[in-house]
Structure 1
Amino acid sequence: MRTIHREFYQFVTFSIMSMVGQSLFILADTFFIANGVGAQGLAALNIVLPVVNIISGLGWMFGVGGATQFAITKSQGMLDKANNHFTQTVVAASLIAILFTLLSQMFVDDILGFLGVTPALFEMSRSYFTILTLFTPLFILNNVFISFIRNDFNPRLAMIGMILGGIINIIFDYIFIYPMEMGLTGAAIATVFSPAVSLMICSFHFKYSRRTLAFQPIRLRFGSILATLRNGFSSFLNEFSSAFVMLIFNL
């Protein structure tokens, strides 16, 4: 019982620390943009933020939903099936991320118009939006891997990945915005480094002694994918509600 309690509090503690750290990094990111780019830079960022929330929501929907399926199936002693959930989730999330990227790049101006961009903010918003959505797969897959690694006995590594990714984001924010004077374009590039570094850190999980997570030859089961989406939909809805509120405020 003590072991269960200890693991429970460990999982909760690392998850809370990850989210608090992520919130602080977003605050720092906003601070650099406000001071280094100015009021219009911050306004342009706010125009694009609903899309950022939706990308994050898609990642958590696949991540939380798939990791839940993985944990339940693994607890029933069906490790191969559990790892098939993992492989399916990664493949499905990757396909959605690629589709999202293609549509975003094709309809940049239409999407920004829907988000309420003004002529004064158009160029900055377009630059930030184009760079960020181009790397949608990194953001979505980062949330997927963090969710699975947490459920595979390694919440500490998931926390380290999120925190180090945020720190790198802050460092490059400063470099690109101040010394290099790249403005909001630099802020977007710095943001992309965050999931890239986090994914690199998460890859060390495959050398972890307690891991059970592994890729398998893909066997697509649409019922399983639907179950993943159902389990993770509340996580998506949480991010989507933030996107919706931000959109209404912007309009």
Structure 2
Amino acid sequence: MQTLSIKREVGQYIVRNIFASLGLSLYVLVDTIFIAAAGGSLGLAALNIVLPLFNLFNSLGLLFGIGGSTIYSINKLKDPKRVESLFGQLLLFCFCLGALLALLFNIFPTQVLTLLGANAQTMNVALPYMRVIVLGAPFFMCNYVCVNFIRNDGNPQLTMCATLSATAVVVILDWLLIFVFDLHMLGAAIATLFSPLTSLGVLTLHTRFKKRQLKLKWALPTWTNLKKAAALGIPSFLTEMSTGISIFVFNLVLLQLSDNYAVAAYGVIANIAVVVLALSNGIALGVQPIASREYGSHNWDHVKEAIFLGLKVALGLACILYFVLVFFKYPIISAFDHDHSLALLKIATNGLPLYFLSVFLPAKI
């Protein structure tokens, strides 16, 4: 009966965290669809050039969010005083680090975009988008810290609501700012800033959660806590950052071999991949709180049970995703191809089945 209870608990966490992780990534996909309608292939290419910056902010948030929340889960029952200020320390550190990155990227915007692969055609389109997007760096990072700590405090329902609410707000603002107010790429960037802000606003409702143990105690970050959190969060950091590096390298290679249409085609695939990766992350993030808690209680059989269930769900989800992406590739890609570019359509449809063979690799559990 106890094993059945663990399976049910892990299953509930996986479902809620799949929706939560999906919400965190859908705003990028929504931006892509609206930018494709407003800016065409050149807008898609510019978006894909800036996309690695999203991966950078997300990976840093995961580095300290996943690592810190794991430490919190292990210690919150047996030694709560040891982690009473950990949440506040990591929030303060991530906000300051994000603010520093936002400042640097706005001081050297053309240099950053040139490094990312922008050329004469895409620079003017990407520049205003990037300068606004990077202002959200501290909020993107803090949101990941809050989502992971609150989920590990036994409230995955709220994290799911927060991320889905953020996506809904972005969809509405994207439509208003891009089409009603005719702000194009700048409107998409402004709308995206409201994603972490909306999520953080909803997450403040955790203070009303009856079973809440997590408290926000502000304290200066200590090197010891930062190092321990980063050590546990490094797998999540590397997984997310590898996506950004792949996009960056692919952009440079495609510009050498072809043109901005090739970058736009890869942008379609890369943005779909962001959502696919989020689904896999949702499985891993659903398993992690239970596995961490059972590890702290030395229930090794339960730890194995949770991980094995996560792997089975990941494999089943991979099969469904690959089937949908391959057999419906033309309507999926056409949703982004508002210029009706045959070059974009041909490159994307040929590349999509090969690229998404990667879905069968296990999630980072």
TM-score range (shorter-chain normalised) is over 0.9
Partner of 2:31: 29
Change (3 A) 1:172 1:80: same
Aligned twin of 1:41 = 43
Is residue 227 from structure 1 mapped to residue 246 from structure 2 by the alignment? no
Residue 63 of structure 1 aligns with an amino acid whose one-letter code is G
Q: Which residue does 1:83 correspond to in 2?
A: 84
The code of the aligned residue for 1:37 comes to G
Indicate conservation of the 8 Å contact 2:23/2:166, yes or no. Answer: no
Aligned ranges 1:1-251 → 2 under 5 Å: 1=2, 3-75=5-77, 77-218=78-219, 220-251=221-252
* 8 Å contact kept, 2:87–2:149: yes
Letter in 2 for 1:221: T
Say whether the 8 Å CA contact 1:18–1:163 is kept in structure 2.
yes
CA deviations 1:41-86 (Å, max 9, x no partner) are: 11111110011111111111111111111111113x2222222221
Instruction: Give the direction of change, closer, same or farther, for the CA distance of 1:220–1:24 in structure 2 (3 Å limit).
Output: closer
Q: What are the superposed Cα offsets for residues 143-162 of structure 1, whole Å, 9 maximum, x if unpaired?
A: 11001010000001001101
How much does 1:29 deviate? 2.3
CA distance in 1 between partners of 2:218 and 2:61 (Å): 22
Letter in 2 for 1:152: D
Cα deviation, residue 216, structure 1:
2.1
Per the TM alignment, residue 22 of structure 1 is displaced from its structure 2 partner at its CA by: 4.2
- Aligned residue identity for 2:53: V
Contact 2:60 2:237 in 1 (8 A): yes
Report the secondary structure of 2:84's partner residue.
helix
d(CA) in 1 for partners of 2:27 and 2:58?
A: 15
Q: How many residues align?
A: 250
Moved more, 26-35 or 164-173: 26-35
Residue 91 of structure 2 aligns with an amino acid whose one-letter code is V
* Cα deviations by residue, 1:99-130 (Å, 9 ceiling, x for unpaired): 21121111111111101101121122111110
Choose 1 or 2 for highest CA Rg.
2
Pairwise CA RMSD:
1.5
Task: Give the drift of 1:96.
Answer: 1.3
CA separation in 1, counterparts of 2:222 and 2:88?
11
Higher deviation after alignment, 14-23 or 54-63: 14-23
Partner of 2:270: none
**Taking every aligned residue pair, what percent have the same amino acid on both sides?**
34
Amino acid at match of 1:10: Q
TM superposition score normalised by structure 1: 0.94
Is the Cα–Cα contact under 8 Å of residues 32 and 177 in structure 1 kept in the other structure? yes
What secondary structure, in the 3-state scheme, does the structure 2 residue paired with 1:181 have?
Answer: coil
Note closer, same or farther for the CA distance 1:172–1:46 as it changes in structure 2 (3 Å cut). Answer: same
> Once structures 1 and 2 are overlaid, which stretch shifts more, 212-221 or 155-164?
212-221
Give the CA deviation at 1:223: 1.6
How far apart, CA to CA, are the structure 1 residues paired with 2:92 and 2:23?
A: 29
TM superposition shift of 1:217: 4.6
Asked if the contact 1:37–1:177 (Cα under 8 Å) also holds between the matched residues in 2, the reply is no
Kept in 2: contact 1:71–1:82 (CA 8 A): no
Deviations 1:196-246 (A, max 9, x none): 100000010011111111122526432221010111111111111111111
Contact kept? 1:84, 1:219, Cα under 8 Å? no
Runs of at least 5 residues in structure 2 that lack an aligned partner in the other structure: 253-365
